[in-house]
Amino acid sequence: MESIQDPVITNRMHGIIGGVSSLLVFPHKDHYKDDREYPSAVEGKIKLYQVESFSWLWSRQARKLINEAMGTFISLQDAVKEVEPDDYKSVLVKKCREYRSMIQACVEDITMCRECEGDQEELTASGQLLYKMELILSLIEILFIDKKPGGMILGQLLMWIRSHFTQCIEKKNEVMESDHPHQHSAYWEAVYGSVLQGRMEDARHMLSNHPFADTDPFLSIDELLRKMPFYQVYGGVSVAEFTVRWQHWQSECERRLQEGHYSTCHQLQTVCKILCGDQKTINNLIDLMDTWYHLMVSTLLFTCPTVKLFRLHSAAQDAIACVGGEQSTTPLDHVLLAAMEADILQVIKECQQVLDNTWFTAHVTDLLCHTMGQTTDQKFLPELRESLLLDYVSVLVSHCSLWQIGILYLDHLGPSGIAMSQTVLQRLPLTDDSRAHKIIQMASDRNFDSVVVGVCRVMGRRALSQGRLGSAIWWGVRSRDAAFTSHLAHQILQKYVVEGRFESSQLLDDLGPAMLLSDTLTFLGKYREFHMMYQDGNFRDAAVLLVSLISSKLAPEYFWPVLLLDALPLLKSEEPVISAEQTYELMYCLHNLHNHASKRGKQSSLENEATCSAFLEKEIDLRLALSNNLARAIIHEGSVDN
C-alpha cells in the first residue's frame, strides 16, 4: 500500500486515471445535494496529486536492454515463421543466448557506472536484478530450451554453476599470486572449491605447488583427479559405458581412502572424501558453495553424474534441506526450484515475485511458448504470453520515447495487439507536426486507416484554431472530412472577397484530385485554376472555365460578384473570348444577383454591404460590357458560321 501524506485528503480522495496508469488524485467530501453552503475550512489547502509508478524499465540501465530486446524479440517471431520446425531449437537457443548476453552487457555497464557516478543504491539494486535474471534465464536455457539428447544435464548444470559462482577462481588467483601459496589461509578452500566445481586442472595446479607435491599422498590424489571421467554428450561413449567407467573410478577412490593413502594429510583426505561422494563432507563445505543449487550440483557430480531432469527435483529438495529447509528459501530459490520441476507456470509466477518489472517474464514466456510449440499440454501458454507481453507494452507506451518500441511489439500479438496499437497511436499527444507525421506513417504502414483520418482531423482543427487555413485544408483533405474542408474552403473564399488575395495559394494549387472532396473545395480549386489560366494569358480557356463555374452553381452566392467582376476584363478584351451563349449565362447570373440583393436589402451583413456597394459601382460597367460583348459575339459567330 502506498500513501500520500496530506491531512486534507485523509477522509476521502478520488482518483482519475489518465493514459495507461497515471493517476490524478484529489480530496473529496460529501456534498449536500441541495447545494447548501458547505462550511469548508479548506480554502487554499486543497491539493491535487499526480501519481505515477516509476518503473525500473525507465531507468538508464534498462534503456539499452529494452532496445536490444526488441530486436531479438522481433527476429525471433520472424524466424519461427520462416524456419522448419526441426530447426526451431537452434533458433531458440540462439535467441536465448542473445537475451542473456544483453543482460550481461547491462551488468557490465553498471559495473563501469559504479566507478563514476550515479545513485549507488539504485545501481546496486539494478545489478542484483540483472544478475538474477541471467541466472534464471541460463537455467531455463538448460532445462527447457537446449535439451541435450539423452537427457543428461549435469554437464550443463556444472557449467551453469561455474559461470555464476566464481569465488573459487578468485581465491585460487589470490592464493597463487602470493609468495607461498600453500601457506595462504585460503589455499585449501580454493582447492576444495575447485574440486567441488569439477575444476580438476585448477585443483591439480594448486596441489602441484605444494612443497610435498612429490610425496605419495599428493601423487595419488593427483592421479585420481586426473582420471575422473566426465561425460561428453557427443563424446561417442554410451551412458552405460560411462557409468561403468565412472563407478570403477569412484571405487578406486574409495579403496585408496580406506587403505589410508591420505592418512598423513587430512586435507587430502577431505578431497578424497569429496571424490567418493561423501555427503557429510560435501555438506560441511557449504560455506564454499553458499547456495543449495551449488550444493546440489556438486553433490550430483560425485554421486550421480548421469542424473536426468526428472530426478532433479528430489536432489534439489535434499540440498534445500541441508541449507536450512523450506523456510529459509527466497523467491529466487522458488523460481529455480520450479524450473527444476519443469513447471513453467510456476516459474513465471515466481519470477513475478522476484522481479519488479515485466521485461523478463514477457520475453521468457514468449521464448518458452515458442519452445513448447504445439506439443504441449500447456494450453494456457499462448494466452499467458500475450497477456504478459501486453502488460510489458503498456509500460513502454506510457513513456514518451519508448512508445514506438511498444508499437513494434504489438504487431506480433494478434488481434489484441492490433486493437491496442490503434488505441495507442490515436492517443499519442500530437505535440508537433513531425510527431503527427510519424504517427501517420506508422498507422498507414499498418493499414490503420481510421487512425490516419483521426490524426489528420485533429491536426486540421488545430490549424484552424491557429488561423492557418491553408494548413488546415491540407490536413482536412487528408482526413477526407467533407464538412470540415467545405467550411475551410468557405473561409478562404470569404477572406478573398474581403482581402482580394489568397493565402496559402501553393497548398491550394497542389490539391489535385483531392479537391473533389467537397463542392466548395472543388470550386476553390477550379477558381485557382482560372487564376492560373488568366495569368498565363490563356484567356479563352479561362473564359470557358469561368462561365462553367458560374453556370454550374458550384460557386457560393457570396462569390458571384467576384466572378462577374472577373469576367469584366474578358468581356472588354479586344478579341471576343466569351461567346453569346456564355454571355447569356453571365447576364442570367447578374440578374439573379440583383434580385437577391434587393430582396435582402437591409438584412445584409457589413461585409456583404461592402461587397455590394463595390459591386453596384461596377454594375453599370458590367451591364454595358455584357451588352457590347453580346452584340459583337453574335456578329462574330454569325460571320464565322458563314
Euclidean distance between CA atoms 126 and 61, whole angstroms: 8
Using only the alpha carbons of the chain, give its radius of gyration: 42
Q: Is 221 in the site for other proteins (CB under 8 A)?
A: no
8 A C-beta contact, residue 305 and residue 213: no
> Shortest distance, CB of residue 471 to other proteins, whole angstroms?
15
8 A C-beta contact, residue 259 and residue 306: no
Of 296, 364, 384, 542, the residue at the interface with other proteins (CB under 8 A) is: 384
Q: Is 214 in the site for other proteins (CB under 8 A)?
A: no
- Contacts of the segment 258-266: beta carbons below 8 A, 24+ positions apart: 261/216, 261/217, 261/220, 261/221, 262/217, 262/220, 262/221, 264/217, 265/212, 265/217, 265/218
User: Which C-beta is closer to other proteins: that of 324 or that of 638?
Assistant: 324
Of 192, 484, 502, 523, the residue at the interface with other proteins (CB under 8 A) is: 484
For CA atoms 206, 210, 214, 219, the dihedral sign is negative
Binding residue count for other proteins, defined by CB under 8 A: 111
Q: Which amino acid is at 334?
A: H
Residue 241 host element (H or E): helix 239-258
Residues 397-426 that bind other proteins (CB under 8 A): 415-416, 418-420, 423-424
Considering only the stretches 38-46, 75-83, 492-500, 528-536, report the one whose residues sit in contact with other proteins under the rule CB under 8 A: 38-46
> Shortest distance, CB of residue 355 to other proteins, whole angstroms?
8
User: Which C-beta is closer to other proteins: that of 114 or that of 226?
Assistant: 114
> Shortest distance, CB of residue 65 to other proteins, whole angstroms?
17
User: Which C-beta is closer to other proteins: that of 33 or that of 501?
Assistant: 33
Q: Is 194 in the site for other proteins (CB under 8 A)?
A: no
Q: Is 493 in the site for other proteins (CB under 8 A)?
A: no
Q: Is 466 in the site for other proteins (CB under 8 A)?
A: yes
Q: Which amino acid is at 105?
A: A
Per-position x/- string for 8-37, each x denoting binding to other proteins as judged by CB under 8 A, each - no binding: xxxxxxxxxxxxxxxxxxxxxx-x-x-x--
Residue 557 host element (H or E): none
> Shortest distance, CB of residue 354 to other proteins, whole angstroms?
7
Residues 261-290 that bind other proteins (CB under 8 A): 290
> Shortest distance, CB of residue 59 to other proteins, whole angstroms?
10
Considering only the stretches 184-192, 226-234, 356-364, 576-584, report the one whose residues sit in contact with other proteins under the rule CB under 8 A: 356-364
> Shortest distance, CB of residue 565 to other proteins, whole angstroms?
28
User: Which C-beta is closer to other proteins: that of 297 or that of 630?
Assistant: 297
Euclidean distance between CA atoms 370 and 588, whole angstroms: 77
For cell 506513417, the residue is 441
Of 6, 252, 541, 637, the residue at the interface with other proteins (CB under 8 A) is: 6
8 A C-beta contact, residue 340 and residue 143: yes
Of 190, 207, 425, 428, the residue at the interface with other proteins (CB under 8 A) is: 428
> Shortest distance, CB of residue 273 to other proteins, whole angstroms?
24
Of 166, 247, 552, 627, the residue at the interface with other proteins (CB under 8 A) is: 166
Q: Is 605 in the site for other proteins (CB under 8 A)?
A: no
Burial class (CB in 10 A: 0-12, 13-18, 19+), 203: buried
Q: Phi/psi of residue 34, each to 5°?
A: -90, 15
> Shortest distance, CB of residue 336 to other proteins, whole angstroms?
10
Of 260, 429, 569, 638, the residue at the interface with other proteins (CB under 8 A) is: 429
Q: Phi/psi of residue 185, each to 5°?
A: -65, -25
Q: What dihedral angle (degrees, nearest 10) is formed by the CA atoms of 246, 252, 255, 257? A: -90
Euclidean distance between CA atoms 386 and 389, whole angstroms: 5
Which residue spans within 459-501 are E strands per DSSP?
A: none
> Shortest distance, CB of residue 376 to other proteins, whole angstroms?
16
**Residue 292 CA to chain centroid, in angstroms?**
37
Per-position x/- string for 45-84, each x denoting binding to other proteins as judged by CB under 8 A, each - no binding: xxxxxxxxxx-x----------------------------
**Which string of DSSP letters, residue by residue, matches 149-213?**
GGGB-HHHHHHHHHHH--HHHHHHHHHHHSSSGGGSTTHHHHHHHHHHTT-HHHHHHHHHTSTTT
Of 73, 123, 132, 406, the residue at the interface with other proteins (CB under 8 A) is: 132
Q: Is 602 in the site for other proteins (CB under 8 A)?
A: no
8 A C-beta contact, residue 501 and residue 470: no
Considering only the stretches 124-132, 151-159, 241-249, 511-519, report the one whose residues sit in contact with other proteins under the rule CB under 8 A: 124-132
Residues 307-336 that bind other proteins (CB under 8 A): 330-333
> Shortest distance, CB of residue 619 to other proteins, whole angstroms?
33
User: Which C-beta is closer to other proteins: that of 423 or that of 627?
Assistant: 423
> Shortest distance, CB of residue 165 to other proteins, whole angstroms?
4
Considering only the stretches 90-98, 452-460, 529-537, 628-636, report the one whose residues sit in contact with other proteins under the rule CB under 8 A: 452-460
Residue 118 host element (H or E): none
Of 67, 90, 120, 128, the residue at the interface with other proteins (CB under 8 A) is: 128
Residue 277 backbone class (left: φ over 0; alpha: ψ -120 to 50; beta: rest): left
Q: Is 217 in the site for other proteins (CB under 8 A)?
A: no
> Shortest distance, CB of residue 341 to other proteins, whole angstroms?
17
> Shortest distance, CB of residue 212 to other proteins, whole angstroms?
31
Per-position x/- string for 135-164, each x denoting binding to other proteins as judged by CB under 8 A, each - no binding: x----------------------------x
Euclidean distance between CA atoms 106 and 299, whole angstroms: 32
Partners of 23 in the beta sheet? 17, 51
Nearest Cα neighbor of 397 from 46, 6, 66, 42 is 66
Query: Which grid cell is 335?
Result: 523460481
User: Which C-beta is closer to other proteins: that of 97 or that of 594?
Assistant: 97
Euclidean distance between CA atoms 517 and 294, whole angstroms: 73
User: Which C-beta is closer to other proteins: that of 458 or that of 532?
Assistant: 458
Of 217, 277, 454, 476, the residue at the interface with other proteins (CB under 8 A) is: 454
Spell out a b/e string for 104-143, using b for 16 or more CB atoms within 10 Å of the CB, else e: bebbebbeebeeeeeeeeebebbbebbbbbbbbbbbbbbb
Residue 264 host element (H or E): none
- What is the DSSP-derived secondary structure letter of residue 510? T
